């Protein structure tokens, strides 16, 4: 085809060269007079001159007028099932269901393949039994946790009590230590009173012999006075003594008796003083013993208070240990509860896994459609991932085409579209999808058209020619040979300006047909250079000849 195109281009170039550059010679060779040539279209031509101004290039041009065309986007594509899935096994086992043959219609959820359960039901029952056991152990764990938490307040109260006992014991120790100096001072005072009492006793005992001597002297005087009184009485009775002497003897006698009484009183007083001194000495000794007892009691109180502090601190340490033990018990109970809950969750997961495994034994159709392949054969061993069957949905069906970058902007979602199949059938639908990303290799965009296929007469993979409706636009029909590129690589044509100079105008390609190409971007009426555009640039003067190009 490329070789033929090259030959055609060479022939056309030769003909054009003859028509433009050697027009008279060719007409003479053909034997046709210039006046017999067909009259050209009534267009404004510059007057024919044999000599062209310097720098002017002779070209052939065409006067083109824009026409309104339907700008349908034409694509080639194929039919495609709207849904297609290869249903695969999610577990392994032997097929125990009879096969369904290809071509059968299946409903959504219909059983396609069934796998032998084997020991899966037993495993499920074991998992359920483990779940029941785990659930039964949870209340006990909760009760242990509650019991452990109940011990915490008692342990905290014991700590508070022990902490309160320490200041009381310290206060008792301070009090005992404060009482010890007073007891020691009382002991010293009592010990200091003993010598004085002993001295008083010695003094009282030293007075006792003196009083006894005075008593003996008084008694002697009493006897003497008694003798003298008896003699005086006898003499007075005999008249040998005067009454005065008798009275004096009686007075001496009474005085001696009084002296005896006085001596006896002194003796008793001395004896009483001795007893009193002895009592005072014994009291001093008793006070010493009492003071010693008080000192011992104070020292014992200090020891007791010190021991009380040690006991209070030991009680505090014990209470803290009890609290730590209670906290450890709470933590252990919490761990036990978490373990019980974890065991329940694990058992529930095992039950769910077992149930899932049983559910996977039955493979169902995910949607209603047509079986493209037979389902797995009875007795076949299925592995995880093995294919059970292929299901396709052909109603509705999709037409898939790929639009080039130049056309994709004109394709709108929801636009009407028609298609012609290779057997001549024509079908219609609507655009349901326009890709937003291009194929990295072809730089084309996927376009999908959805249409009904209730009788399933359209199959998956048939070739179709698609025409997608687009907005109409004014366009010019030009020969492909008139298209050229400027220095920037833009596609366009060279036109003739009002000043008869070459002017490049960019165009947009709408459609390629057998008659030529439809382009937009030009004014409604324009003179397009059809031959010779390769020899001119913008601003170059031209001398156009308006003739039709030989096709």
What is the Cα–Cα distance from 249 to 310, expressed in whole angstroms?
A: 89
Residue in the structure block whose two tokens are 């009381």: 168
Q: What is the mean pLDDT of residues 93-115?
A: 94
Q: What is the mean pLDDT of the chain?
A: 83
Q: How far is CA 94 from CA 41, 354, 356, 363, 490, in A?
A: 85, 18, 17, 13, 66
**Are both 11 and 110 inside the same structural domain?**
no
**Are both 63 and 200 inside the same structural domain?**
no
DSSP letter for 375, please: P
**Cβ partners under 8 Å of residue 34, min gap 6:** 24, 27
In sign, the C-alpha dihedral spanning 45, 49, 50, 53 is: negative
Asked, for residue 302, whether it belongs to a domain, the answer is yes
Q: Categorize the per-residue pLDDT at 551 as very low, low, confident or very high, splitting at 50, 70 and 90.
A: very low
Asked, for residue 362, whether it belongs to a domain, the answer is no
**Cβ partners under 8 Å of residue 178, min gap 6:** none
Q: Which of 412, 440, 468 is the last residue of a domain?
A: 468
Residue 79: give its domain's CATH number: 2.40.30.170
pLDDT digits (tens, 9 = 90+) for 2-24: 667 778 888 788 777 777 766 66
Task: Tell me the backbone φ, ψ of residue 101, rounded to 5 degrees.
Answer: -85, 155
Asked, for residue 448, whether it belongs to a domain, the answer is yes
Could you tell me which of 168, 159, 169, 173 has the C-alpha nearest to residue 315? Answer: 159
Alpha-carbon Rg for the chain in angstroms:
73
What residues make up the domain containing 94? Answer: 73-116+369-468
**Are both 240 and 276 inside the same structural domain?**
yes
**Are both 138 and 280 inside the same structural domain?**
yes
**Are both 88 and 138 inside the same structural domain?**
no
> Which of 48-52, 408-412, 513-517 is most confident?
408-412
**Are both 154 and 181 inside the same structural domain?**
yes
Q: Which of 468, 497, 520 is the last residue of a domain?
A: 468
Specify the pLDDT at position 48. Answer: 47
**Cβ partners under 8 Å of residue 518, min gap 6:** 69, 475, 476, 477, 509, 510, 511
pLDDT digits (tens, 9 = 90+) for 302-335: 788 788 788 878 877 887 888 788 888 888 888 8
pLDDT digits (tens, 9 = 90+) for 223-265: 877 787 777 777 777 666 567 777 777 777 787 778 778 878 8
Q: Is the pLDDT at 550 greater than 50, yes or no?
A: no
Asked, for residue 364, whether it belongs to a domain, the answer is no
Structure tokens at 58: 């002779």
Query: Do 465 and 78 touch, CB atoms closer than 8 A?
Result: no
* Cα angle 394-400-401, degrees, rounded to a multiple of 5: 165
Specify the pLDDT at position 8. Answer: 83
Comparing 302 with 132, the larger pLDDT belongs to 132
Asked, for residue 4, whether it belongs to a domain, the answer is yes
Q: Is the pLDDT at 546 greater than 80, yes or no?
A: yes
Asked, for residue 241, whether it belongs to a domain, the answer is yes
Q: Which of 468, 498, 519 is the last residue of a domain?
A: 468
Specify the pLDDT at position 459. Answer: 94
Q: How far is CA 145 from CA 326, 339, 344, 520, 542, in A?
A: 11, 12, 17, 85, 105
What is the Cα–Cα distance from 177 to 182, expressed in whole angstroms?
A: 10
Could you tell me which of 388, 360, 377 has the C-alpha nearest to residue 106? Answer: 388
**Are both 341 and 286 inside the same structural domain?**
yes
**Are both 317 and 262 inside the same structural domain?**
yes
Q: Is the pLDDT at 549 greater than 50, yes or no?
A: no
pLDDT digits (tens, 9 = 90+) for 406-445: 889 889 999 999 999 999 999 999 999 999 999 999 999 9
What is the Cα–Cα distance from 437 to 448, expressed in whole angstroms?
A: 14
Specify the pLDDT at position 298. Answer: 75
**Cβ partners under 8 Å of residue 521, min gap 6:** 492, 505, 506, 507, 508
pLDDT digits (tens, 9 = 90+) for 145-164: 888 788 778 778 877 887 77
Q: Is the pLDDT at 43 greater than 50, yes or no?
A: no
Q: Is the pLDDT at 41 greater than 70, yes or no?
A: no
Specify the pLDDT at position 22. Answer: 65
Task: To the nearest 10°, report the CA torsion of 18, 23, 28, 30.
Answer: 50
Q: Categorize the per-residue pLDDT at 33 as very low, low, confident or very high, splitting at 50, 70 and 90.
A: very low
**Are both 59 and 164 inside the same structural domain?**
no
Specify the pLDDT at position 273. Answer: 72
Query: Do 465 and 422 touch, CB atoms closer than 8 A?
Result: no
Other CB atoms within a 10 A radius of the CB of residue 252 amount to 18
pTM: 0.47
pLDDT digits (tens, 9 = 90+) for 275-311: 777 777 777 777 777 777 777 877 777 788 788 788 8
Asked, for residue 361, whether it belongs to a domain, the answer is no
What's the burial of 243, exposed, middle or buried (CB within 10 Å: 0-12/13-18/19+)? exposed
**Are both 322 and 377 inside the same structural domain?**
no
Lowest mean pLDDT among 40-54, 200-214, 228-242: 40-54
Work out how many domains the chain is built from and give that number: 4
Residue 502: give its domain's CATH number: 2.40.420.20
**Are both 100 and 136 inside the same structural domain?**
no
pLDDT digits (tens, 9 = 90+) for 455-491: 999 999 999 999 998 877 788 999 999 999 998 999 9
* Cα angle 80-81-87, degrees, rounded to a multiple of 5: 130
Comparing 546 with 33, the larger pLDDT belongs to 546
Specify the pLDDT at position 74. Answer: 87
Specify the pLDDT at position 46. Answer: 47
Task: Tell me the backbone φ, ψ of residue 263, rounded to 5 degrees.
Answer: -65, -40
Asked, for residue 363, whether it belongs to a domain, the answer is no
Task: Tell me the backbone φ, ψ of residue 173, rounded to 5 degrees.
Answer: -65, -40
Could you tell me which of 509, 507, 511, 501 has the C-alpha nearest to residue 486? Answer: 507
Specify the pLDDT at position 364. Answer: 95
**Are both 240 and 280 inside the same structural domain?**
yes
């Amino acid at each position: 085809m490329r070789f033929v195109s090259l030959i055609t281009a060479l022939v056309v170039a030769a003909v054009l060269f003859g028509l433009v550059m050697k027009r008279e010679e060719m007409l003479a060779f053909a034997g046709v007079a210039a006046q017999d040539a067909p009259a050209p279209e009534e267009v404004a031509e510059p007057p024919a001159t044999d000599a062209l101004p310097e720098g002017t290039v002779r070209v052939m041009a065409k006067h083109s007028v824009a026409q309104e065309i339907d700008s349908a986007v034409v694509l080639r594509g194929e039919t495609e099932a709207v849904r297609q899935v290869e249903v695969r096994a999610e577990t392994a086992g032997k097929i125990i269901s009879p096969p369904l043959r290809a071509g059968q219609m299946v409903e959504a959820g219909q059983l396609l393949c069934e796998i032998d359960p084997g020991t899966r039901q037993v495993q499920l029952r074991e998992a359920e039994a483990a779940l029941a056991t785990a659930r039964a152990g949870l209340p006990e764990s909760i009760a242990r946790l509650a019991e452990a938490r109940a011990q915490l307040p008692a342990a905290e109260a014991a700590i508070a009590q022990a902490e309160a006992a320490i200041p009381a014991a310290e206060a008792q120790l301070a009090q005992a230590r404060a009482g010890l100096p007073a007891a020691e001072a009382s002991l010293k005072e009592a010990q200091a009173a003993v010598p004085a009492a002993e001295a008083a006793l010695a003094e009282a005992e030293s007075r006792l012999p003196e009083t006894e001597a005075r008593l003996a002297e008084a008694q002697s005087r009493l006897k003497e006075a008694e003798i003298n009184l008896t003699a005086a009485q006898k003499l007075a009775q005999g008249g040998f003594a005067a009454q005065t002497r008798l009275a004096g003897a009686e007075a001496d006698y009474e005085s001696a008796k009084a002296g005896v009484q006085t001596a006896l009183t002194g003796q008793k007083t001395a004896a009483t003083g001795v007893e009193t001194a002895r009592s005072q000495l014994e009291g001093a000794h008793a006070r010493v013993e009492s003071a010693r007892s008080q000192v011992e009691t104070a020292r014992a109180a200090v020891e007791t208070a010190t021991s009380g502090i040690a006991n209070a601190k030991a009680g505090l340490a014990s209470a803290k240990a009890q609290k730590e033990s209670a906290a450890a018990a709470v933590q252990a109970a919490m761990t036990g509860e978490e373990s019980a809950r974890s065991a329940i969750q694990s058992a529930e997961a095992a039950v769910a896994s077992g149930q899932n495994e049983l559910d996977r034994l039955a493979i169902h159709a995910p949607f209603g459609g047509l079986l493209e392949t037979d389902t797995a054969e009875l007795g076949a061993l299925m592995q995880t991932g093995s294919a059970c069957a292929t299901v396709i949905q052909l109603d509705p069906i999709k037409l898939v085409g790929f639009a080039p970058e130049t056309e994709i902007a004109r394709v709108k979602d929801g636009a009407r579209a028609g298609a012609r199949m290779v057997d001549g059938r024509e079908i219609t639908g609507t655009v349901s999808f326009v890709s937003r990303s291009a194929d990295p290799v072809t730089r084309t965009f996927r376009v999908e058209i959805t249409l009904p296929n209730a009788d399933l007469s359209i199959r998956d993979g048939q070739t179709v020619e698609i025409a997608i409706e687009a907005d109409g636009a004014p366009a010019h029909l030009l020969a492909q040979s008139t298209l050229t590129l400027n220095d920037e690589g833009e596609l366009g044509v060279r036109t003739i300006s009002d000043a008869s100079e070459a002017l490049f105008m960019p165009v947009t390609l709408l459609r390629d047909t057998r008659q030529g190409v439809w382009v937009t971007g030009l004014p409604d009426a324009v003179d397009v250079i059809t031959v010779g555009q390769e020899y001119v640039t913008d601003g170059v003067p031209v001398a156009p000849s308006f003739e039709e190009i030989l096709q």
